[in-house]
Structure formats: C-alpha cells, structure tokens
Amino acid sequence: MIPTISAVIVGADRLGNIPNLLRDHNIAITHHISGRDPSHQKKTLQLPTGTQMVILLTDFLGHNVMKTFRNAAQRSGVKVVACRRSVCAMQQALEQCGLCGLARCDFSGRA
C-alpha cells in the first residue's frame, strides 16, 4: 500500500475537482488556506504539523504570500508544487515532480 502524503493547499476560494485528483494520487488535503488574510504574508509563518507537501495555486496568490509559504516549506524541508488551479495543471505538476506514476495519472478513473 502506498502511504498518503499530507498536503497544504494555498490559494483559491474553491478547489473544484482538485481534491479528487489528489485523492487518486494518495495525497490528503490537511489544510486549505485561501491566502487572502494579510497575516499570510508574515515572514515567519509556520506550516501545520505533519505537512509533507505545499501546493501553491499560483493564479490566486500574490507574490508575497507565495514567497512566505515557499520559505516556510524550505525551512521545514517540505516539497513545494506550484501550478494554476485546474485539474490539468495539477496533474502536469504532479508528473513533473515525480509524484504521479503513469498508471495513476489518468484522471478519467481508468487505471
């Protein structure tokens, strides 16, 4: 059995079908942060305990918020995936970072 990866998603108000895609790749969303709160631009932001991956939805984030979460991930030794908020962009980003095996990448439900 493949272990589940705990992920924090930063950006966007709604995630659409992205949670289904992540679930298919054994990635569990532990927190979803919209990034709208001005406190998300703090320089010393801490990621939630147990976070193994940070997913940045770049078309819904300002540069300062992205930089803050990238730095927090780097301090914690957590992998960062950045993409637009679409299933296709997410799937492509997962393939590029090596978290998506070819047999599991078909989002239509076929293995």
User: For the residues 33-59, what does the mean pLDDT come to?
Assistant: 86
Q: What is the pLDDT of residues 49-90, one digit of tens each?
A: 999 999 999 998 888 899 999 999 999 999 999 999 999 999
For 63, residues 6+ apart whose C-beta sits below 8 A from its C-beta are none
| The CATH number of the domain covering residues in 5-104 | 3.40.50.10700
Contact 53, 47 (CB under 8 A): no
- pLDDT score of 105 more than 50: no
Domain range annotation of the chain: 5-104
Tell the residue number behind the tokens 């298919």, with chain if given: 24
- CA gap 111, 105 in Å, rounded: 8
